[in-house]
Structures are given as C-alpha cells and as structure tokens.
Amino acid sequence: MNEANLSTDSLLKIIEELRRENAELRKSILERDAIIAEQSNRIKELEERLKRHSQNSNQPPSTDQYAKRCRPKSEREKSGKKPGGQPGHQGTTLRRTQNPDEVVYCHVDRCESCQHDLSNVEAKEHIARQECDIPVVKPRTTEYRITTKVCPKCKLMNKAKGPNNLTQPIQYGARIASLTSYLHYDQLIPLNRIKGMFTDMFSLPISEGTLVKMHEQVYNQLSQTELAIKSNLIASPVVNFDETSMRIDGKTSWLHVASNAHSTVYFSHNKRGVEAMNEMGILPNYKGTAVHDNLKSYSTYKDMDHSPNVS
C-alpha cells in the first residue's frame, strides 16, 4: 500500500507540475500573440503611411521625398483619334509676318537651258520664304567719358556728372543683373549653370560671387515694389492666407502665402506659426476678412474677420 500511495502521490505531483508548466506556456503564448498582433498592426500602419503622398492624400508635395511617387492612372477613355491637333483646333503654328525686318532677294542671272544672260530681265514673280530666328547676341560695351574742365576765370576744376550707377572702371549693366535674377529665381537655374551659360552664349565671364551681388542689388531695388504689394494686400477686403512645408538645405521650412486676385506675397521661414506670420508683415496690420485653413495661429489676430477655408 505504501508503495502504491507513493506512486500515486508522485503521479499527482507530476500532473500538478505539468499543469503549472502548461498554464505558464499558455500565458506566454497569449502574451506573445498579443505582441505579434500589435507589431503587425504597427507594420501595416507604417506601410500605409509610406504609400501616402500628395497625389492620394492631403499631404503637401514637399513631403513626397520619402514616398514612392506613382504616375496617376488616367480615367479618360480612349477616343480612337490619332495623336496631335484635331481638325478645327486652333494651333500655335509659326505664321508669316507682313513686315519682315530684312528682305533678301535671291536673283537668277542666267538661263539654265541656254545660259542666256537674265540679269536685265524683269522678274515674273517672287516666291517668299521667311525664316524666324534670334539675332546674334553679344555684350555691348558703352564707355562714358567724364570730362573735366578748368574755369579760365576762377581756375576751378569742374568735373561732369556720369551715371550714378557706375562706380567702378568697368562693371556689368542692369540688363545682365535682371536676366540672371530671372534665370535663377523664376527658371530655377543654379548659379554655376548660369555662369556657364553666359560663358558659352555671350563669351562673358561672370563669377558666382558677382551673380549673388547682382541678385542682392535687384532685391534692394525691388524693396519698394514689395512694400506696394503688401500695402495692396493689407488694404484688400478679402485675402487668402496659407502655409505649406518645403525643403531648404535639407531641412523642413515653411512657405507662407498671402494673396488676392491681383497680388501675391511669398515668405519663407523656419517656423509655421505666429513668429513667421508677424515677420511677414501682413497679418498684424490686416483688418479685412482672412480666408485660411483654420490653423490655430490665425486666431491670435483679433482685428480681422475669419472665414476658414473648409474646402
């Protein structure tokens, strides 16, 4: 009996130990399943986030640098027409002018058959062919010779007044400064490519440092124009305000915009909120109706009416 009782006790202990281990394993499996489910949901969320870009969500285009851009699939059905302009479509074909800048006559002076002299024979008709081209562009240098004269009466040395903008023995003109600024800021051509362009097209060497100084000069000359545009917006009864992120030197910045039907001001800043809006110089002085996306920072300005753009 004792051996039987001992065997039974041992079996019970073994069974109890197995039950305890089984319970611990079940608990561990449930905890692991919960972690796996949480991680799977997180992975799915991150994958969905990576798929989002400016073309399939309300994200600004500046956030697309980490997203794989996909070409939107056109929903237009094929018309069956051939590519190109259709009959009746008003195209942009180069048209002849009635007042050409130059006329060149191509004469025929000898008969192709009998070699008879035709130089004094009157032409029967003229067949016109026109060529539209850009004239050869090369730098044009204007020298201003500032004279000095000695007054025969009082012996004073008198000096003529030259152009106010000429302060050096030789310098680049205003048209070059305007063109380089246009190419850089409107056409977004880098400075080193503008430098190469002027060398190749005009045989005109120009350094990047000089280009920067030109742009600063144009910027200063446009300061009054900028103030006039801002004044127009401040006086406007309705102005649209917005801000969107963009990348500058690899960092996220913000492009602030204020516009009406006739004027637009762009202002870049490393902040999105009130600090940048104040530095832009329009919202602190505006008294009309502001249309915006209801960003909290706009509520700081109490002297204007708010018309949030919910579209």
- How far is residue 5's CA from residue 10's CA, in Å, rounded to a whole number? 9
- How far is residue 5's CA from residue 7's CA, in Å, rounded to a whole number? 5
User: Tell me, what's the pLDDT at 311?
Assistant: 46
Cβ(238)–Cβ(252) below 8 Å: no
List the chain domain ranges.
173-221, 237-308
- How far is residue 203's CA from residue 196's CA, in Å, rounded to a whole number? 10
Selection from 262, 231, 256 nearest residue 244 by Cα: 256
- DSSP code of 78? P
Which of helix, strand or coil describes residue 269? strand
φ, ψ of residue 92 to 5 degrees: the values are: -120, 40
Which residues of the chain are modeled with pLDDT < 50?
1-2, 67, 310-311
pLDDT tens sequence across 253-264: 999 999 999 999
- How far is residue 213's CA from residue 104's CA, in Å, rounded to a whole number? 44
φ, ψ of residue 49 to 5 degrees: the values are: -65, -40
- DSSP code of 247? E
User: Tell me, what's the pLDDT at 1?
Assistant: 46
User: Tell me, what's the pLDDT at 289?
Assistant: 94
pTM of the prediction?
A: 0.57
pLDDT tens sequence across 155-191: 999 999 989 888 888 999 999 999 999 999 999 999 9
- How far is residue 60's CA from residue 37's CA, in Å, rounded to a whole number? 32
User: Tell me, what's the pLDDT at 66?
Assistant: 53
